[in-house]
Amino acid sequence: MQKKDFSDGPCPVARTLGVVGDWWSLLIVRDALNGVRRFNDFHRGLGCAKNILSSRLAKLVEHGVLRTVPASDGSPYREYELTEEGKGLRLVLLALRQWGEDNLFEPGERRTTAVDRASGRPLAPLEMRDADGRPLGPDDVEVRAPAP
Amino acid sequence: MQKKDFSDGPCPVARTLGVVGDWWSLLIVRDALNGVRRFNDFHRGLGCAKNILSSRLAKLVEHGVLRTVPASDGSPYREYELTEEGKGLRLVLLALRQWGEDNLFEPGERRTTAVDRASGRPLAPLEMRDADGRPLGPDDVEVRAPAP
DNA sequence: CTCTCCCGGTTTCGACATTAAACCGAGAGG
DNA sequence: CCTCTCGGTTTAATGTCGAAACCGGGAGAG
């Protein structure tokens, strides 16, 4: 994230990582998706240095992932709210979550789980699908360079 | 990525970021999914410092995302190959890609595209689904803490 | 009015990570 | 024998991060 700048490159993956590709940004978005809105709540939940949190929040606001709003209750402070753009990152977070569940946990180990609010059951694994909605296997996909 | 260690925490997102959460790792995996296998090819494709590339490759091997194999052709060098675990990250990469396409490109701007190899058409957007395969909206999902 | 605490940061500074560039050993080619 | 490429490692300069100190505004206590 530091020196290299892919923000004008042709790869959407690299551009996205330019916005949320550092250690804290996606964890901030994760907490924001869970309803966290206040500086100190992010700070406590993440345990990251306050100056870093401050700069990350500013960067996310700058890129339109978060916006600041005056106050939700009567308190005189502002809060951080996900934009629609920011909410779109829930798919990224879910993909990261499912990969971690599958590969980084022992069976039976304690973990947080994303569930369907209505039924309380865990979500289905994400699937790649073609334009008609048919599931695609690992080798059915390739990345094409842009037209010249 | 640097000091904080979430590798024994309860959140699969944080654990996953501990493995691939730094600037270069996911770009390495992206190139690996595109068939890159050799050190110098990664180096040229990414433009990152060679010592960093070296340490990232080693870390990904250590975490089981990549493995080294003796040689694919006759050359005396080893190559880096995705494990099944590593291939599972294609969903993460696709989620990042689709978010970037939707939010970080002007209409008509040049970009790489993930397509169904059979039809050549772009993939459908990823969708969250419940355990029965029914699509879920943004607010139908919540994250539950582990059982005590 | 004054004292103090809490919130939301900013500043400072030492530690650590990253970078570019130089270097190096093994193997291939000429 | 000389040189080139591959796959790194080492080195020195630079940049970034983290912990802690600091700070200003507002609220509440007395």
Residue B9: per-residue pLDDT: 93
Q: Within 10 A of A30 (CB to CB), how many other CB atoms are there?
A: 24
Map out the domains of chain A with their CATH numbers: 12-103 (1.10.10.10)
Interface check A140 vs B, CB under 8 A:
yes
So what's the ipTM on this one? 0.94
Residues in A closer than 8 angstroms to B86, CB to CB, are none
pLDDT of residue B1: 46
φ/ψ region of B64 (left if φ > 0, alpha if ψ in -120 to 50, else beta) reads left
Which residues 88-107 of A have a C-beta within 8 angstroms of B? Answer: 88-105
Separation in Å: D6 C1' and B39 CA: 9
Could you tell me if A87 and A34 are in contact, meaning their C-beta atoms sit under 8 angstroms apart?
no
Spatial separation of the C-alpha atoms in residues A14 and B120, rounded to whole Å: 22
Whether the predicted pLDDT of A132 surpasses 70: yes
Per-residue confidence band for A146, with pLDDT thresholds at 50, 70 and 90: confident
Calculate Rg over the CA atoms of chain A.
18
Note the pLDDT tens digit of each residue in B60-104.
Answer: 999 999 999 988 666 778 899 999 999 999 999 999 999 999 999
Please say whether the beta carbons of A20 and A92 come within 8 A.
yes
Check whether A2 has a pLDDT greater than 60.
Answer: no
Give the nearest chain B residue to A148 (CA atoms).
B110
So what's the pLDDT on residue B77?
A: 84
Quick: pLDDT tens for B7-25: 999 999 999 999 999 999 9
Distance CA(B148)–CA(B146), nearest Å, equals 6
**B51 at A interface, C-beta within 8 A:** no
Phi then psi for residue B129, to 5 deg, are -135, 155
Asked if B73 and B50 count as a contact pair (C-beta separation under 8 A), the reply is no
Encode pLDDT of A17-71 as tens digits: 999 999 999 999 999 999 999 999 999 999 999 999 999 999 999 999 999 998 7
What mean pLDDT, rounded, does chain A reach?
93
Is A76 part of the contact surface with chain B (CB cutoff 8 Å)?
A: no
For residue A62, give the 3-state DSSP assignment. Answer: helix
* Residue A73 reports pLDDT greater than 70: no
- Set of chain A residues whose Cβ sits within 8 Å of the Cβ of B123: 128-131, 136, 141
The mean pLDDT value for B23-47 works out to 96
